[in-house]
Structure formats: structure tokens, C-alpha cells
Amino acid sequence: MRILIADDHDLVRDMIGELLTREADCQVLAASTLDEVLDLMQVEDAFDLVLLDYSMPGMNELEGLTRVIEAGQGQPVALISGVASKAIAEKALAAGAAGFLPKTVKAKSMVHAVSFMASGEIYVPVSFMAAEEQGVEAVRRRNLTERELEVLSGLYAGRSNKEIGLQLDLREVTVKLHVKTLSRKLGARNRTHAAMIAKDIGLLL
């Protein structure tokens, strides 16, 4: 399968790309903006699936999804997001998306979902659509301290705990505790997921 992954977060692109290359034997191309996606679709052979991040530059909410669907002329296009709501997922499907894939899904489920959508089927996790929505503002209200936001910025930049500690003049063990607290407050599985959530809800500009 040929997959185009579009996300402006390097960690997300690398993580999903490595997973699909390893587990599904995919040929993966990457983009970080809507314009890059449209340019690649003009010069590359058709993709079996295009995965678009809901909040990357140029998307303008679902307007970018519509533009890519039109440019793709039948190529399946799906939306991915870390914190987008059930309502956004429903609107994406109504606009013609091949599916909606939360970044929180387990690796095995992501591989299955990509294969499913690439084959022409529609995919949305039943558990996600049935779950009670947790809005962005609810996450923002979790009262991150200034220091936690500084550590979060380091995570988003892909720095190790040691590198963050050197930058902020903190002991590595202190940084580790901040990362643990951040993950708990944001409801994140790990440091990468915490950075993804923070970026998607606008904590990191």
C-alpha cells in the first residue's frame, strides 16, 4: 500500500510511518502542511490512502479535507486527530472522508484501520463514537503550571529528559516527575501522546 501521512508534528509522522512500514509493509510518504499534500498528489502516483491531521497548517478545520478529497479524484482520504470531537468525526464522514482515526488508538487497531480504509471501506472506532465527549476546554482547565508548560515544550521539540533538564536547569529526576504529572493531567499514554494532545488543543503555539 502507498500511504500519505500529513501531520505537522514530526514525532507523529515518524511514529505512524514506522508502524505502517513495519507492520503493514506500506510505502509511506509524508507531508506537514495542506499545500505539501496537494503538491504531492499532483506529482506522485495515486495513494491507497491519505491520512490528514485535522489541525495542521492550511486545514482550516474541514475545508482542507474537502480540498484533498476533490484533488484526489477518488483516492480515500481519512482524518486523524488527537482530540477532535465526535461531532467533527461525523462532519468529516458527511464530507466524504474514508474514516476518522483518533491518534489514541492502539497500534494494532491503527494498522487494521488503515488497511480497511485503503480497501475502500469506511472506518470509525465504535468505542470513540459511543464514548462521552471530552471537550477541549475540559482539558485546558487541568491547570498546568508554567514549569509544566516549559517541560511540555521540550517534549514537543523531541528533547530527552536530560536535555530538558539542562535547558531548564532542573535535575533529570525532576523532569521525569513533571512528565508523569503532565501525562496524568492530559490523559496521555506517554510523553509523545502528551505532546500530541498539547499541540492539538492549542497549549503549544
pLDDT the model gives residue 168: 92
Q: Which domains does the chain have, with CATH numbers?
A: 2-130 (3.40.50.2300), 136-200 (1.10.10.10)
Cα 113 to its chain centre, rounded Å, is 15
Alpha-carbon distance 99 to 96, whole Å?
8
Cβ atoms of 11 and 196 within 8 Å: the answer is yes
Query: Would you say residue 28 has pLDDT above 50?
Result: yes
Alpha-carbon distance 146 to 24, whole Å?
41
Neighbour count for residue 81 (Cβ, 10 Å): 22
pLDDT the model gives residue 204: 65
Alpha-carbon distance 78 to 54, whole Å?
10
pLDDT the model gives residue 131: 56
Q: How confident is the model at residue 140 (pLDDT cuts 50, 70, 90)?
A: low
* Interval 144-201: pLDDT, tens: 788 888 898 898 888 999 999 999 999 999 999 999 998 888 878 888 888 877 776 6
Query: Would you say residue 133 has pLDDT above 50?
Result: no
pLDDT the model gives residue 40: 93
In percent, the amount of the chain with pLDDT more than 90 equals 42
Query: Would you say residue 32 has pLDDT above 90?
Result: yes
- Model's pTM, two decimal places? 0.66
pLDDT the model gives residue 185: 83
